[in-house]
Chains A and B, each alone.
Chain A
Amino acid sequence: MAKNIKQLSHSPDRLTAGHRLCPGCAEPMIVRQVLMAAGDRPVIAANATGCLEVSSTIFPYTAWNIPWIHLAFENAGATISGVEAMYQQWRKQGKIDPVQRYALVAFGGDGGTYDIGLQSLSGMAERWHDCVYVCLNNEAYMNTGVQRSSATLYGANTTTSPAGRVIPGKSVHRKDLTMVMAAHDIPYVAQVAPASPPHWRHLVNAAEKAFDYEGPAFLNVLSPCPLGWICDASKTPELAKLAADTCLWPMYEVDHGEWKLLYRPKEKLPIEVYLEPQGRFRHLFRGEKAEEIRRRIQEWVDYKWEQLLRLCGDA
C-alpha cells in the first residue's frame, strides 16, 4: 500500500534529468510521481504526440529508462491497448513470469486525450485493457503554441480563442472528461493535481491504486504550464493548489463506482485568486465585460462543485 516519501525517493529513476521540458512545467513532476507509484513492477510507457514526447526523446537522446513507445497523436489509448494485448500473450506463452505484473501506462496531453484521442481512449477503457491512462492536462495545445482545447476554461485567452475586441477569449465551458471516463464504469478514475504538500500525496495515492487494480484506470492530472498560462515558473505548485482551493479543479476519485472527494478546502476561495496571477486571464480584470465573464466562470464552478458533492454524498 501507500509508501512514504522516503520510500518513494528510493524508486528507480524512470524519467531522468536531461529532458527539455520548460522550466516550471508540471509534466515531469507528474510523470515521475506516477512512475514512482508503480513501485517495483517493470513499467512500459506509451506516449501521445505532445510536449512530453517531443521534449524527452529528441533523437539520438532519450530521457526514458524504461521501454517507451510513441506512434502518433490521437492513439495513445490504442497504442497501449496493442502493447497490453501482446503482454497478455507473452504471459500466456510463459515468456513473462505470470507472478510479475507489468505496469503499462499511457501519457497524453489534453489535446491528445480530451480531443483527438478521445475515441481511442474510450475504446481502451471499454475493452478493459489492464493499463493506466494519464492525462497531463495543461488546458490547451501547448506543444504547438497554446491553441484552445476542449479542456480550456471559459474565458481563457489562447491563440485560437484570442481575447479580442469582440470575443473575449474562449466562449464555451470545458468538457468534464473525468466524468466521461467515470461513465465508462472502469475500476478507477481520479482527478488530481501535483500540488505542494500535503496534496502531492493525492496524485501518488491515486496512481498507486490505478496500478494496483486490474483493468483500465484513468487519471486526469492538472498540469500548470508557465508558457501557456503566462505565469512565473515558480508558481506551478501554487497554482495547482489554488485550482483545488477554488474548487475549479476538485480532487476526487471514483473507485469501483464509489465517488469520493480527496480534498475539501476549509474555505472555498473565489476564482479570482486563481485567475488573477495568470496572464491568460488578464483581460478578465479590465474592460466592461470582465466582471460578467468572471461571474459566469464562478457560477459554472459552483454548479460543477455542487454536482460533485452530490455524487460524493457530501452535499
Chain B
Amino acid sequence: MGKLRPMEGNEAIAEAMRQINPDVVAAYPITPSTEAVQIFARFVADGQVDTNYVAVESEHSAMSACIAASLAGGRVMNVTASQGLALMWEMLYIAASLRSTVVLSVANRALSGNINIHCDHSDAMGARDAGWLQLYGENVQEAYDNAIQAVVIAEREDVRLPVMNCYDGFLVSHSYELLEVEEDEAVREFVGPYKPVRPLLDVQNPYTIGPLDLYDFYHEHKRSQWEAYRPAKQAVIEVGKAFGERFGRSYGLLEPYFLDDAELVIVALGSTAGIVKDIVEQRREGGERVGLLKIRSFRPFPAEEIADALGSARALAVMDRAAGFGSGFGTLYPEVAAALYAGGKQVPVVDYIYGLGGRMVLPEEIHQVYNELAPVAASGHPEQLTRWLGVRE
C-alpha cells in the first residue's frame, strides 16, 4: 500500500522520478514545469538519487543530450512545457525515429504568441505527429501513475519509443491533491532495471546511429517505425492493467464514464475530464443519459476503441484545448471524427474550442455543451460544427 501525501503535480512528477532513479536527466527549467526540475535537482544534490543531472543551456540541447544518453545505454527522463517543447520540436522526431526511450513529462501550457504561461494543449498537440506516445493525465495521481507506467511502456522490447506524460499546466502542476505515493521498492520493482538495446557505449560492437538515409531506404524505415505503434497500443493496455494489479489503480487507452447508455457524450483530454465527471453525475441524477469519454492515450490513438465505446451516442462534443489554425477545427476533433467515420458510426459531432491560455472552464459551460447537444441529437445535424466556449465576442 502506498502512503497518502499531499502533493502538487510537479512535486509528484519529481517524486516519481526520484523513485525511478533514472541514469540521466538533462533538463532546462520552464514554467509551469520548473518546480519538478528544481525538486529533482535537490534530490540529486542531497544524494537521494544516482542520476547524472545535466543542467543544459536550452531545451534543444536538453532533448539532444537526452536522446544521446538514452541511445548510449541508459534510462533517461526529462520535464518541460510550452516553448521548451516547441524548441525541442526538431529533436522530438529524431528521438522517436532513432527509437530512444526518453520519458518526458509535459506540463501543458499555451504556445506564444502572445506569451502566456497557462494551460492549453497546443504544445503537445504541436508534437502529435513526431512519433512519441502521449498519455494525458486528469489529476496529480494520474500524472504520477503515468510517469511510472511511461517508463515501462517506452522500454518494452516491442515498443522502444519515447513517451510524453502530459499533465495540465497549473491546473495539475500546481494543484495540491491527496496523492497515493507508492513505496520506493514497489515502484523500482515495477519499472525494473534498464535493459539497453545496442547501446552506443558498447565499444565491442560499434555501429552507426543516425546515418544519411535516402530514398532507397528512408521509406522502409518509416514503415517499420509505423508498425511500432500497434504493439505500443497493446503495451499501454497491458502496463495499465499490470499497474492496476500491483497498485490498485487500473488504466487503459480510454476511460469511459457513464457511457454504456449515454446519448449525449463529451470527449475530453486532461483535467477538464474531472469537471465533466461532476456535471455528468449531476445530470444523471436528473435522469439524463449523458456521459464522458476521456482519452488517456492520444498517441497511439485508439480509433477503433473510440468507435466501439460510443455505441449508444446520438451526439458528441469534442473538447479541444488547442486550435488547429486554418483547419477549421481543434486538433482532437478531426481524429475523433475520422475514428467514427472509419468505424461506420453516423453520429453528429460538434467541436468546442475552449480554455486557451488557461481560460477557466466553468461548470455552467459544461452544462451549456450538454444543453446544446440535445437539439443536435434530435435533428441529427449540428448547425454550427465548430464553436468557441467561453469566448467574448
Interface residue ranges, A against B (CB under 8 Å)? 42-44, 46, 53-54, 57-60, 62, 64-72, 74-75, 77-83, 85-90, 92, 95-96, 102, 119-120, 122-123, 126-127
Contact = CB atoms under 8 A, between A and B. Distances in A.
Contact of B207 (A67, A90, A92, A127): A67
A86 B210 contact: no
Nearest to A43: B203
A58 B74 CA distance: 27
A82 B69 contact: yes
Contacts of B200: 44, 67, 69, 83
Give 6 closest A-B pairs by Cβ, nearest first.
A82-B68, A82-B65, A57-B211, A123-B57, A78-B61, A86-B72
B48 interface: no
Contacts, number: 153
Interface string B167-210: 00000000000000000000000000000000011110011111
Contacts of A64: 206, 208
Interface stretch (B33-41, B212-220, B345-353, B374-382): B212-220
B279 interface: no
B197 to A, nearest CB: 14
The secondary-structure label for the interface of chain B is mixed
B89 to A, nearest CB: 11
Nearest to A89: B23
Nearest to B72: A86
Contacts of A46: 68
Interface in B70-92: 70-74, 90-91
A86 B217 contact: no
Q: Of residues A54, A71, A78, A82, which shows the largest number of chain B Cβ atoms within 10 Å of its Cβ?
A: A82
Given A82-B24, A83-B68, 6 more contacts: A57-B212, A82-B66, A82-B72, A86-B74, A88-B52, A102-B203
Contacts of B73: 86, 90, 95
Contact of A71 (B64, B74, B212, B213): B64
25 contacts: A42-B203, A64-B206, A70-B209, A72-B91, A72-B94, A75-B61, A79-B68, A81-B61, A82-B54, A82-B65, A82-B67, A82-B72, A85-B65, A86-B24, A86-B52, A86-B68, A86-B70, A89-B24, A89-B74, A95-B73, A119-B58, A119-B61, A123-B56, A126-B57, A127-B54
Contacts of B66: 82
Contacts of A119: 57-58, 61
A251 B233 CA distance: 57
B203 A83 contact: no
Contact of A86 (B69, B213, B214): B69
